[in-house]
Amino acid sequence: MTDVHPQAEPAQTPIKPVLKPAAAKRANASVIGMVLALLVSLAVVIPVLLLSPGQSAKTYRPPVDVSAISAQAKDSAGYTPAAPALPAGWSVNYARWTSAGADGVPYWEVGYVTADQHFISLTQTNKANPTWVAQRTDNATGNGTLPVGSSIWDLREKSGGDTSLINAGTTTIILKGDAQMPEFQTLAAAALGTQP
């Protein structure tokens, strides 16, 4: 038997692609075009970023003239809506008169942000009823009373929710929010024009 040796395959030389000058020029044109487009984009974006005002940690709050809005709402309300003077550091988010809806209760409402960045809404009406009060306080449970100056406020608290203070005189005022009790007392006194 004779040994048969397979013949060695000839070594394959790698094929080196050769671009014609026109094809090479087109390939380079795409790269140059992308670089130019990037530079033009940066030339437009960088001045815009440099000229835009910097971000501030302080939130912009347009001024709300509670006294002026209260004076406008007086004729519709039939009473002078409360417009308490703010302690230093407090601000107002909104002040508005809301006509009677399906519940038949029109009301005055002002949103206060305290110096410690807590929120308290003041709601006032002369047509309150138990159902409306329960809805405005999220059906919070009564938790006694709180004397503020010469007035007595009903205290309602909802577990994991907001605190509410209610004063029922010639009008009913509801204070509701996530603030601390001294902040509630400050606004309650100001709303009735008394000292805490």
| Low-confidence winner among 18-22, 46-50, 173-177 (lowest mean pLDDT) | 18-22
Are 95 and 138 members of one domain? yes
Are 111 and 139 members of one domain? yes
- Whether 176 shows a pLDDT value over 90: the answer reads yes
Read off the pLDDT of each residue in 146-167 and give the average, rounded to a whole number: 86
Q: Which domain holds residue 24?
A: 20-54
- Whether 81 shows a pLDDT value over 80: the answer reads yes
The 10s digit of each residue's pLDDT in 118-155 is 999 999 999 888 888 988 888 888 888 888 888 889 99
The 10s digit of each residue's pLDDT in 57-80 is 556 667 788 888 888 888 888 888
The 10s digit of each residue's pLDDT in 102-116 is 778 889 999 999 988
Q: Which pLDDT belongs to residue 1?
A: 52
Are 27 and 102 members of one domain? no
99: CATH: 3.40.1000
Q: Give yes or no for a contact between 169 and 78, defined as CB atoms under 8 angstroms apart.
A: no
Q: Which pLDDT belongs to residue 8?
A: 57
Read off the pLDDT of each residue in 69-97 and give the average, rounded to a whole number: 87
> Looking at the domain assignment, is residue 157 inside a domain?
yes
Number of domains in the chain: 2
Q: Which pLDDT belongs to residue 195?
A: 44
Spatial strand order in the sheet of 119-125: 91-98, 107-113, 119-125, 172-177, 163-168, 151-157, 141-148
> Looking at the domain assignment, is residue 137 inside a domain?
yes
pLDDT band at residue 196, thresholds of 50, 70 and 90?
A: very low
Supply 187's token pair: 């606004």
- Whether 181 shows a pLDDT value over 80: the answer reads yes
Paired sense of beta strands 119-125 and 141-148, if any: unpaired
Q: Does an H or E element contain 191, and which?
A: helix 181-192
Are 142 and 96 members of one domain? yes
Are 33 and 72 members of one domain? no
pTM of the predicted structure, to 2 decimals: 0.67
Tell me the residue type at 25: K
Read off the pLDDT of each residue in 10-33 and give the average, rounded to a whole number: 73
- Whether 184 shows a pLDDT value over 70: the answer reads yes
Counting residues of the chain whose pLDDT is more than 90, the rounded percentage is 13
Are 38 and 118 members of one domain? no
> Looking at the domain assignment, is residue 47 inside a domain?
yes
